[in-house]
Structure 1
Amino acid sequence: MDEKVYDLLEKLYIEVQEVKANMGTKAELQELGSELQEVKDAMATKAELQELRSELQEVKDTMATKAELQEIKNTMATKEDLELVVEELKTEIQSVYDEVKELRNDFNILEIVTTKSALDIAKLKAVR
């Protein structure tokens, strides 16, 4: 019986030694504890994760879908359309410019006639 107890104690001692060897030293455990604390400090809290989730949802809600972007693309004018509009505007601007030149000539003639009329009126008044 003593021998069985001795064998059990010996096995228990060996297992305790193995556990002790696997656990490491107190300094190693403290270092591991400080590393775990750093990891814990770096991790986001549940509230922070919820806030991020809300912000992401807001961004998602404001973004356009592929269908909306395709619709916008379909309604946009092409380069050819814009070139046609530019040509039409150039033609219209040129015609307005030509009309303004004609009006300028007409105003010059009107000014000359008005000046001559004023001169004639002044001569008539002088004769009187």
Structure 2
Amino acid sequence: MNSTMIAIASAPPAPTVVRGDSTGSIHRAREATRAFADGLSPAPDPASVEALVLAVSELATNALRHGGGRYSLELSTDTATMTAAVSDPSPAPPHERTPDLNDGTGGFGWHMVRSLTRELTVTPGPGSGKTIHARLNR
């Protein structure tokens, strides 16, 4: 008897959405990101999951600090990438600044996100705000 194995591709999960307006919401965004990645099949590379969690944490923090005090995070995936889309009400695009090594006022986040991601784009909307799309390899 000849048996044939059939690979069944599972449909990508529905996007996960998290909204936040406080520093406590950053923890929820990280947890949701990890749960989202843990639910993917096939499982993504563990280093990619950690990079995605860190990128989400930095983008959510930047949205709270510089983007109008609230954000919406949407996580999605395809066969090759995982995407975190973080929207905030500010139309101002992110900008690099020299990290503050003395007084601890920041400046590391955007540099870090750029180094962690495969592709990083900023698009207008929703409304008068912007959305940052961070794509990482699975």
TM class by shorter chain equals: under 0.3
TM-score normalised by length of structure 1: 0.22
Which is helix-richer, 1 or 2? 1
Larger Rg: 1
Which is strand-richer, 1 or 2? 2
- Larger relative contact order (Cα-Cα within 8 Å, sequence gap ≥ 6): 2
TM-score normalised by length of structure 2: 0.21
